Structure 1
Amino acid sequence: MATTWRERLGRLRVDLSPWRGSRDFRILVTSGTIFYLGQMTAYVALPYQLYQLTGSNFAVGVMGLVMIVPLVVFGLYGGALADHLDRRKMLIATGVAQGLITAILLGNTLLDDPQVWLIYACAALTAVASSLQRPSRDALFPRVVRHDQMHAAVTLNSLTFQVAQLAGPALGGLLVSTVGVTWAFAVDLGGLTIATLMYVALKPYPSNEHSSPPSLSAIGEGIRYAFRRRDLLGTYAIDMVGMFLAMPIVLFPAFATEVLQEPKLLGLLYSAESIGALLATLTSGWAARVHHHGRAVVIATIVWGGSVGLAGLAPNIWIAIAFFAVAGGADMISGLFRAVIWNQTIPDEMRGRLAGIEMLSYSLGPLGGQARSGLVADLTTVRTSIVSGGILCVAGVVLTAAWLRDFWHYDARTDEHAVRERTLRNEP
């Protein structure tokens, strides 16, 4: 019996084979973690500095608005560039650009009168650079690991990012409250510099011979490809429905202070989803034995919505934190299987453009969801907004899955696109 339990527990462990087997995978994951740790440090410092200069919550909110258009436009264009240029060179060039922008932000903090307009301009430029970079990075993963290792590769990448997501804001908060925002931007600049130097160590990854030059026509080709494939459309639609209808983070301050009357534990509400996601990642070895990825995404997103709704009904903050942790774990599982579908089925010559579309799908849903949650809370109550969002999420996901039946029936063993990519890469 002991052996049986050990075997079962062993199946839950994270598979380290991509880390052991691919030098460039190690570089991508390590550099990405360092990069993201610095970014999350600045994520705290930038709005903090802006609020200190203006005293306005609206001024802080405007920073998100100035980033939306660059995100949409350059996310799509960055995907087209990723399909036509050497992806290693794209990572290096955009890393240098982000380093220069962060250096400007750091310099602004040293002025006697820091300029608010410069913060907005740098936020927009950062959105441009990151939107150009992300598709190239995401498009590299299928080329640095074996096809059958994609589950493990996605899990390991997610795990390191979650560690950075937990540690970065904590470090940023500590720095701005003790030594000031200048040091937070210095940490971000150091992380960008180290990550970019690591990108230099990657081997070249020239474009596929069938790739199209970056143009509106090439972007349109990628969008048409995504919408023709209902399995891909399902990954975008399910996630956007789930995030738009059940994204309560903007309500956390009011929920903790006014509803649950535990303002000192507000930070735990923000951390709950990340902790749940980390635990789900550490025990996700079972995912490699799941072949109906569409069903996994649908079920996980339903669990996300249901958990958010139940958190809204919680009589105390500890029960709310528990449900938000479950929601974070479910969101991680959904993201894992969506990423595996993308990386195992999209041809290399389209991978960059589709990565740009993916970036928009998981960015715009939460932005719209925050607005929806805030509006409903103002019209009704905070609890009503959270609970109704969870109920609408479950109903919306069920209806979307019924509409996209091909997504529900997706099977990685028999799907024509997965089989083709497996065959092209000479794997059984």
Structure 2
Amino acid sequence: MSRSTVEEVPLRRNRDFTLLWVGQGCAEIGFSASMLAFPLVVLAITGSATASGLVLAADAVAQAVLALPAGALVDRWDRRRVMLACELAQVVALASLVAALLLDGASVAHLVAVAAVLGACRALFEPAEDAMLPSLVPERQLATAVATNSARSSIGQMSGTALGGLLFGVARWAPFLLDLLTHAVAFVTLLFLRAPARRAEPAPHGRIGQEIREGLRFLWQRREIRVTTACAVALNLFFAAYYLVVVVLAARRGTPAGEIGVMAAMLGVGGVLGAVLAPSLHRRLSPHVAIAGVFWALAALSPLAVLVHNGYLLGVLFAAMALLAPTANTTIVTHQLLLTPDELRGRLSGSLNLAVGGAAAAGPALGGLLAESTTPTTAVLVSAAGMTVAALAVTVNPTLRHYPREEQNR
């Protein structure tokens, strides 16, 4: 694999990375606002919680169904054009929804269709952005870029959720107008992005199924990718279950809704702080310590929810649990991107999105089952036990114990 030829300047002065970061930071704010507003609009129109779930499911199903073919298509096509097309499609879909809501003509079918378009666009956009990142920054700065993108996601989710609730109180269409405008900004920033030429020509086009299998075969043959993917699946499954169980526990204890909201937001605060610390921790910690550290932090801190009754203190607990995750993510993603040839990076991202996204979706279902079948306290301890078993497996795994350290800028 060829070495990066991107001029090495401080990341904040890297024009193309900054354009991408700003544009997608705006888009993530708008997306989070829409994801909050979708179920609220459906409830206002129909009063049906089931219909609300259907709309959110449309986004998740579209991403899951298209994850593997999207990764293969991203490896075929010009990645910047894919990203531009996705932003434009989202602007058009959101404009149709804003117009329908202004005219009181929105239907559940329309909302489902728009949510599915957003999910399909994310299924294509995320692999395209991930695959392009190593061509925008020097390899020595890749870990810092990955951590900076992690901070962007946390900030976008926190601020977008808050703005979505505020704007929905003003008008039903307002959160979707915000999403439309932020994707328009992202589209404009991409127009000015100078995407470097691909380091390697895409492989000759075959049938899409064949290309997907080639990508999966490459990933399966790399033990480091197999093992770290299993780590990410376990972490997302058990933590998503734990998160729902703790929310149920807090609600049954009579914790005010405002405190629960702050508690949830503190998870994002921890993610932002962790992303700020990630480049430094990535340089100082061995890869094995960085990866195992997040598992042991979750295993040690998660049982404390049984003892903590104050919603704000539970928020501090959530923030502490999120603090080390960006460092592990930076370590894993940086190595995976450098290990994978450019012509396969879209399929790498699409495959990982499917695996990790599936675990994140299954986690709440597991948490709900635990909360319904036993006491919330027992459910917390069962979730904590699952994270402890995963931490033990990570600690003794020989592949992770010898995980290579990437050379990064200091």
Letter in 2 for 1:91: M
Partner Cα distance (2:315, 2:254) in 1: 11
Compared CA separation, residues 252 and 101, structure 1 to 2 (3 A): farther
Partner Cα distance (1:332, 1:371) in 2: 25
Q: 1:252 touches 1:270 (CA, 8 Å); kept in 2? A: no
Partner Cα distance (2:369, 2:293) in 1: 28
Letter in 1 for 2:221: R
Compared CA separation, residues 113 and 101, structure 1 to 2 (3 A): closer
| Match for residue 243 of structure 2 among 239, 245, 249 | 249
Compared CA separation, residues 234 and 212, structure 1 to 2 (3 A): farther
Q: 1:83 touches 1:352 (CA, 8 Å); kept in 2? A: yes
Give the match for residue 120 of structure 1. Answer: 112
Give the match for residue 134 of structure 1. Answer: 126
SS at match of 1:283: helix
2:207 counterpart of 1:231: no
2:197 counterpart of 1:197: no
Q: 2:80 touches 2:195 (CA, 8 Å); kept in 1? A: yes
Q: 2:79 touches 2:129 (CA, 8 Å); kept in 1? A: yes
Show the 5 A alignment for 1:141-156. 141-156=133-148
| Match for residue 391 of structure 1 among 385, 391, 395 | 385
TM (norm. structure 1) is 0.87
Give the match for residue 262 of structure 2. Answer: 268
Letter in 2 for 1:408: R
Unaligned runs of 5+ in 1: 1-15
Show the 5 A alignment for 1:8-407. 17-20=10-13, 22-177=14-169, 179-207=170-198, 208-213=200-205, 215-247=208-240, 248-251=242-245, 253-259=247-253, 261-290=255-284, 292-399=286-393, 402=396, 404-407=397-400
Tell me how many residue pairs correspond in the alignment.
399
Compared CA separation, residues 245 and 285, structure 1 to 2 (3 A): closer
Partner Cα distance (1:212, 1:231) in 2: 27
For structure 1, which segment, 71-80 or 220-229, has the greater mean C-alpha deviation from structure 2 after superposition? 71-80
Letter in 1 for 2:229: Y
Compared CA separation, residues 313 and 294, structure 1 to 2 (3 A): same
Compared CA separation, residues 81 and 44, structure 1 to 2 (3 A): same
Letter in 2 for 1:281: A
Partner Cα distance (2:395, 2:401) in 1: 6
Compared CA separation, residues 163 and 219, structure 1 to 2 (3 A): same
SS at match of 2:193: coil
The superposition leaves residues 210-265 of structure 1 with CA deviations (integer Å, 9 ceiling, x where unpaired) of 53426111111111111111111122111111111221333455333212533331
Compared CA separation, residues 160 and 361, structure 1 to 2 (3 A): same
The alpha carbon displacement at 1:58 in A equals 2.4
SS at match of 1:246: helix
Partner Cα distance (1:353, 1:49) in 2: 35
Q: 2:16 touches 2:136 (CA, 8 Å); kept in 1? A: yes
TM (norm. structure 2) is 0.90
Q: What root-mean-square deviation, in Å, do the aligned CA atoms of Structure 1 and Structure 2 show?
A: 2.3
The alpha carbon displacement at 1:113 in A equals 4.2
Q: 1:277 touches 1:331 (CA, 8 Å); kept in 2? A: yes
Q: 2:394 touches 2:400 (CA, 8 Å); kept in 1? A: no
Unaligned runs of 5+ in 2: 1-8
SS at match of 2:173: helix
Q: 1:91 touches 1:136 (CA, 8 Å); kept in 2? A: yes
Partner Cα distance (1:161, 1:65) in 2: 21
Letter in 2 for 1:235: T
The superposition leaves residues 5-60 of structure 1 with CA deviations (integer Å, 9 ceiling, x where unpaired) of xxxxxxxxxxx92222x221111111110111111111211111012122222222
Q: 2:224 touches 2:403 (CA, 8 Å); kept in 1? A: yes
Partner Cα distance (1:312, 1:226) in 2: 40
Compared CA separation, residues 245 and 212, structure 1 to 2 (3 A): farther
Compared CA separation, residues 380 and 171, structure 1 to 2 (3 A): same
Q: 1:246 touches 1:308 (CA, 8 Å); kept in 2? A: no
- Runs of 4+ with >6 A deviation: none
Compared CA separation, residues 272 and 394, structure 1 to 2 (3 A): same
Letter in 2 for 1:221: E
Compared CA separation, residues 218 and 123, structure 1 to 2 (3 A): same
